[in-house]
């Protein structure tokens, strides 16, 4: 046949097809059959027809299902990239005139090009469809399902669905709309960036319903990277009511992995359904379901246990097994918390897991990172923390900069000081006196040395703020402490838990550690969230992401952080509005590094450029690269550095072990002479390096025990200052804040009516003026809220609970007295009662007025009928009668006295 390719072993394309492409097609369920002109298409099914003739030449493979050609595969030798070969497949599609299908000028809808390693796929039925790489060939069932789908029709159905669920906020509805617009534009990778606490999961629950209802997606995978987040997601889907009287899981099937009873609240009767494996291995076109899974579990399902990376909860997916899952198992994949800063090797696994599926992929994050934006490409919707605070959906934070000399400068242990020497293998401690001085920098604190006095004084400083909060709000602030580590026997987290109970004078139930090393961490998280005790939780990383604790009011950073992603996630634990405490107006961040953590991240961009930790090659891999002459000089330098590091880290016992291979076990000398040895006798030097026993020793050599000291006599100097943040994230000390407030009041005396009244004409004082004043002050760039102004006055002038009138007057005229609301009202009422005689009944009404004024600092006629303290005893009519119709005039005098 003219144009037929020669099937010769010398032909590298032929080898590629036989050794690489044929097995891949077979794995996807295709029978490899040669073209037979005497056999009609109607007799072929699930067949990959080799050298199928078209009007424009022979196609390498024609994929036939039920007598119709659904796919064309064009193969090229391994050295050629496959992407541009799709144009050749398009030519064959146009030329397949014997095929009963037609799509414009095309006769075959699904095109592939491959070199045996990479596979590119193009659905040519719509002009906006773009070619894309796929991990494997679609199965015959997948192509049949794709052929029967009308993506344009289901997108129109999606757009026709009312996007107005009553429980969704405006920005969540906007987010759903942007996602759907991107899907309609045939985008298959997209990123949604929403601040922590703004309801990413809830927004996506509604979106999943809409995608399923319209038919855009029937099989949806919701991926998380922690079991705690999986449990939260399952709860969210089960409780969502997309249609009146119908929960989501009563309309559509919802499946998950297996959980433990303690993963859910005690009063929850929800029993999650475990996904049958057949839903993954044999996806059926008519089945509609949602599957919530950890990415660790899905990785095991795809690539086996050896490929999985662990989570921080310490509870792996022991029951997960490897399965043969086709690439069309899901229509949409939603990856929650996709910002996570994995190492490069973990990132490769994370991507491989997502890449396996030919699906629309939606990433959710509060903190977009370079590797997530690279993968998901388009940020289709963004809702920043500052906007969420401005619109009242999240709360802002106050900053307390705690300065600790030890945390900032390290510690110096003097000769003769009493220390505890901790055996890091057993945990036993021996008291000793230092024979010589030791100097530790800040990075060594809690790693090589701890100063109990420092931790204690920091907690004592924080206790002052906790007691002030408790006095003001009537409750102890739910507190989360980020410790430096949770290492066996030298755990900073353990030390803090014990010290918190001691400093606050409480029992062990008051503070708990919640890390991956505790028993049943999900249960510990749930208890911290839902119960009054523990009031304080100490963690390292486990509570940094995705865990919802709305009533959290104090966050304490006692661990240094250099990752913007991690820092913002930690900060995000406090941003939610209170659930039990509806009056939660803000949360407080204690930066125990003198405010430097927040200063470090203040100018961070919305998308971080930080990269995941690079994958560390094994020594065996480096040695093999040298042997194979792959970038040899570079790899020799890498090996020398590794050997020099071993020389610094190994113990005397290791020197004895290495002496069996190198002179005197002197690794430093051996490393220094290795490049010359390789030049002189490459084979001889490599014989030792490739020795498996030597390579094993290079990994498992004996290390000296880690030294850890407790500096019992070392002292720390600790102080703190409460800071105020403006809308741009700048911090101000209290006195600087009040200076700015004075400047603001002076500059706006003429254009803020309430300020003008207080300073010049107090007779005009009213509730309207007070409301205007509060609104204008909060809207100012420095956010002059009453609560922050009161704190600043208390810290600067040692006067608690100063009323807003005093603050304005004092800002304009420094000689004005500062009063509490109680003092101001008492002063005003004494002036009124001293101006004339009142009857006993009138005095009773004046006492009611006084009570009202302490809370409101003004009074009007309407208050007498609206406020229970007045309305329950007769309201305006009875009060005005008691004052013989003179009450209106009296109220004017009272308001003027309050503002005077």
pLDDT at 617: 80
Question: pLDDT per residue over 692-737, tens digit each?
Answer: 999 999 999 998 888 899 999 999 999 999 888 776 667 888 999 9
pLDDT band at 607 (very low <50, low <70, confident <90, very high): very low
Mean pLDDT of 295-300: 90
Between CA 512 and CA 514 the distance in angstroms is 6
pLDDT band at 586 (very low <50, low <70, confident <90, very high): confident
Mean pLDDT of 630-653: 92
Between CA 569 and CA 340 the distance in angstroms is 10
Most confident range (mean pLDDT) of 8-17, 603-612, 621-630 is 621-630
Per mean pLDDT, which range of 40-49, 232-241, 360-369, 732-741 is the poorest? Answer: 360-369
Residue 900 has pLDDT above 70, yes or no: yes
Whole-angstrom Cα Rg for the chain: 35
- Of the chain, the percentage scoring pLDDT greater than 90 comes to 65
pLDDT at 4: 37
DSSP conformational letter for 19: I
Mean pLDDT of 801-814: 93
Hey, which bits of 35-162 come out as E strands?
47-54, 57-65, 68-75, 110-114, 119-123, 132-134
Calculate ∠ Cα 397-400-401, nearest 5°.
Answer: 130
Q: Mind listing the domains of the chain with CATH numbers?
A: 12-148 (3.90.1570.30), 152-390 (3.40.50.300), 396-601 (3.40.50.300), 619-708 (no CATH), 733-819 (no CATH), 823-899 (no CATH)
Paired with 709 in beta bridges are: 421, 449
pLDDT at 10: 38
Helix (H, G, I), strand (E, B) or coil at 847: helix
For the chain, the average pLDDT equals: 88
Q: 447, 442, 446: which is closest to 404 by C-alpha?
A: 442
Q: How many CA atoms lie within 13 A of 473 on its CB side?
A: 21
Residue 8 has pLDDT above 50, yes or no: no
Residue 263 has pLDDT above 60, yes or no: no
**Residue 600: exposure state from Cβ atoms within 10 A (0-12, 13-18, ≥19):** middle
What region, left, alpha or beta, does residue 116 occupy, with left being phi > 0 and alpha being psi -120 to 50 degrees?
left
Residue 333 has pLDDT above 70, yes or no: yes
pLDDT at 16: 80
pLDDT at 114: 92
Helix (H, G, I), strand (E, B) or coil at 752: coil
Per mean pLDDT, which range of 140-154, 225-239, 539-553, 582-596 is the poorest? Answer: 539-553
pLDDT at 342: 45
Question: pLDDT per residue over 119-169, tens digit each?
Answer: 999 999 988 898 999 999 999 999 999 999 999 999 999 999 998 888 899
DSSP secondary structure letters along 305-342 = GGG----TTS---TT-------TTS-SEEEETTTT---
Handedness of CA 124, 125, 130, 136 (dihedral sign): negative
Backbone angles phi, psi at 586, to 5 degrees: -170, 175
Per mean pLDDT, which range of 50-54, 490-494, 623-627, 832-836 is the poorest? Answer: 832-836
pTM over 0.85: no
Helix (H) or strand (E) holding 696: helix 692-700
pLDDT at 309: 62
pLDDT at 605: 42
Between CA 839 and CA 847 the distance in angstroms is 12
Question: pLDDT per residue over 20-52, tens digit each?
Answer: 999 999 999 999 999 998 899 889 999 999 999
pLDDT band at 798 (very low <50, low <70, confident <90, very high): confident
Q: 748, 745, 754, 720: which is closest to 734 by C-alpha?
A: 720
Residue 616 has pLDDT above 80, yes or no: no
- Of the chain, the percentage scoring pLDDT greater than 70 comes to 91
pLDDT at 267: 58
Question: pLDDT per residue over 447-497, tens digit each?
Answer: 999 999 999 999 999 999 999 999 988 999 999 999 999 999 999 999 999
Question: pLDDT per residue over 496-522, tens digit each?
Answer: 999 999 999 999 999 999 988 888 887
Q: 524, 452, 460, 459: which is closest to 492 by C-alpha?
A: 452
pLDDT band at 312 (very low <50, low <70, confident <90, very high): very low
Edge to edge, the sheet with strand 586-591 lists 511-513, 536-539, 478-482, 552-557, 586-591, 396-404, 718-725, 731-732
Per mean pLDDT, which range of 33-47, 340-354, 770-784 is the poorest? Answer: 340-354
pLDDT band at 741 (very low <50, low <70, confident <90, very high): very high
- Of residues 83 and 873, which shows the higher confidence score? 873
Residue 824 has pLDDT above 80, yes or no: yes
- Of residues 266 and 259, which shows the higher confidence score? 259
Mean pLDDT of 410-414: 94
Mean pLDDT of 429-456: 94
Residue 7 has pLDDT above 50, yes or no: no
């Amino acid at each position: 046949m003219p144009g037929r390719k020669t099937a010769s072993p010398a032909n590298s394309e032929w080898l590629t097809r036989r050794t690489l492409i044929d097995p891949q097609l077979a794995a996807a369920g295709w029978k490899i059959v040669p073209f037979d002109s005497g056999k009609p298409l109607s007799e072929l099914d699930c067949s990959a027809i080799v050298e199928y003739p078209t009007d424009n030449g022979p196609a390498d493979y024609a994929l036939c299902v039920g007598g119709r050609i659904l796919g064309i595969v064009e193969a090229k030798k391994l050295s050629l990239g496959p992407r541009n070969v799709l144009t050749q497949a398009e030519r064959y599609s146009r030329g397949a005139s014997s095929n009963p299908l037609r799509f414009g000028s095309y006769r075959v809808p699904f095109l592939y090009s491959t070199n045996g390693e990479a596979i590119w796929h193009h659905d040519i039925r719509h002009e906006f469809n773009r070619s894309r790489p796929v991990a494997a060939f679609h199965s015959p069932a997948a192509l049949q399902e794709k052929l029967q789908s009308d993506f344009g029709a289901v997108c129109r159905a999606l757009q026709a669905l009312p996007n107005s669920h009553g429980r969704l906020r405006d920005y969540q509805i906007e987010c759903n709309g942007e996602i759907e617009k991107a899907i309609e534009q045939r985008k298959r990778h997209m990123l949604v960036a929403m601040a922590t606490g703004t309801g990413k999961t809830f927004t996506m629950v509604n979106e999943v319903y809409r995608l399923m209802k319209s038919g855009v997606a029937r099989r949806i995978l919701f991926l998380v990277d922690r079991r705690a987040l999986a449990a939260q997601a399952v709860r969210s889907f089960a409780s969502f009511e997309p249609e009146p009287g119908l929960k989501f899981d009563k309309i559509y099937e919802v499946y998950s992995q297996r959980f433990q009873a303690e993963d859910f609240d005690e009063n929850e009767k929800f029993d999650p359904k475990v996904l049958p494996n057949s839903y993954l291995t044999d996806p059926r076109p008519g089945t509609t379901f949602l599957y919530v899974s950890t990415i660790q579990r899905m990785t095991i399902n795809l690539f086996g246990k050896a490929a999985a990376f662990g989570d921080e909860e310490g509870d792996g997916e022991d029951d997960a097994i490897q399965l043969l899952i086709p690439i069309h198992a899901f229509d949409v994949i939603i990856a929650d918390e996709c910002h996570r800063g994995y190492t490069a090797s973990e990132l490769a696994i994370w991507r491989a897991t997502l890449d396996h599926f030919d699906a629309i992929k939606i990433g959710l994050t509060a903190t977009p990172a370079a590797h997530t934006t690279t993968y998901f490409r388009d940020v289709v919707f963004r809702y920043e923390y500052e906007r969420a605070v401005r619109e009242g959906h999240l709360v802002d934070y106050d900053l307390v900069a705690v300065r600790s000399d030890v945390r900032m400068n390290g510690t110096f242990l003097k000769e003769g000081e009493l220390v505890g020497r901790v055996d890091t293998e057993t945990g036993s401690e021996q008291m000793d006196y230092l024979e010589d001085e030791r100097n530790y920098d800040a990075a060594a604190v809690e790693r090589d040395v701890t100063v109990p006095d420092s931790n204690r004084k920091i907690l004592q400083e924080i206790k002052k703020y906790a007691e002030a909060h408790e006095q003001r709000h009537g409750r102890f602030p739910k507190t989360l402490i980020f410790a430096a580590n949770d290492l066996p026997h030298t755990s900073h987290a353990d030390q803090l838990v014990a010290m918190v109970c001691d400093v606050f004078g409480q029992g062990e139930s008051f503070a708990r550690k919640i890390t991956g090393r505790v028993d049943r961490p999900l249960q510990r998280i749930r208890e911290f969230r839902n119960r009054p005790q523990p009031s304080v939780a100490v963690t390292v990383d486990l509570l940094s992401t995705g865990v919802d604790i709305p009533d959290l009011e104090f966050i304490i950073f006692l661990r240094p952080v250099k990752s913007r992603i991690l820092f913002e996630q930690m900060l995000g634990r406090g941003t939610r509005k209170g659930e039990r405490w509806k009056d939660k107006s803000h949360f407080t961040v204690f930066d125990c590094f003198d405010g430097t953590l927040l200063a470090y991240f203040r100018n961070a961009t919305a998308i971080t450029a930080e990269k995941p930790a690079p994958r560390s090659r094994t020594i065996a891999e480096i040695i093999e690269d040298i042997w194979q002459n792959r970038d040899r000089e570079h790899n020799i330098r890498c090996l020398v550095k590794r050997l020099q590091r071993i020389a610094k880290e190994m113990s005397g016992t290791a020197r004895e072990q290495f002496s069996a291979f190198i002179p005197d076990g002197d690794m430093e000398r051996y490393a220094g002479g290795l490049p010359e040895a390789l030049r002189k006798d490459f084979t001889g030097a490599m014989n030792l390096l490739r020795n498996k026993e030597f390579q094993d020793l290079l990994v498992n050599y004996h290390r000296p025990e880690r030294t850890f000291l407790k500096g019992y006599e070392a002292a720390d100097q600790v102080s703190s200052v409460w800071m105020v943040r403006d809308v741009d994230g700048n911090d101000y000390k209290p006195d600087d804040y009040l200076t700015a407030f004075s400047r603001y009041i002076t500059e706006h005396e003429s254009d803020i009516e309430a300020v003008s009244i207080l300073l010049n004409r107090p007779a005009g004082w009213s509730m309207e003026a007070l409301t205007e004043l509060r609104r204008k002050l909060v809207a100012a760039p420095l956010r002059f809220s009453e609560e922050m102004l009161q704190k600043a006055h208390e810290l600067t002038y040692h006067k608690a609970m100063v009323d807003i009138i005093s603050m304005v007057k004092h800002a304009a005229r420094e000689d004005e007295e500062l009063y509490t609301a109680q003092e101001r009202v008492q002063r005003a009422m004494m002036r009124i009662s001293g101006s004339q005689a009142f009857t006993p009944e009138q005095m009773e009404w004046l006492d009611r007025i006084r009570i009202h004024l302490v809370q409101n600092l003004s009074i009007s006629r309407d208050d007498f009928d609206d406020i229970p303290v007045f309305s329950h005893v007769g309201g305006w009519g009875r009060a005005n009668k008691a004052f013989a119709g003179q009450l209106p005039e009296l109220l004017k005098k009272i308001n003027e006295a309050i503002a005077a």
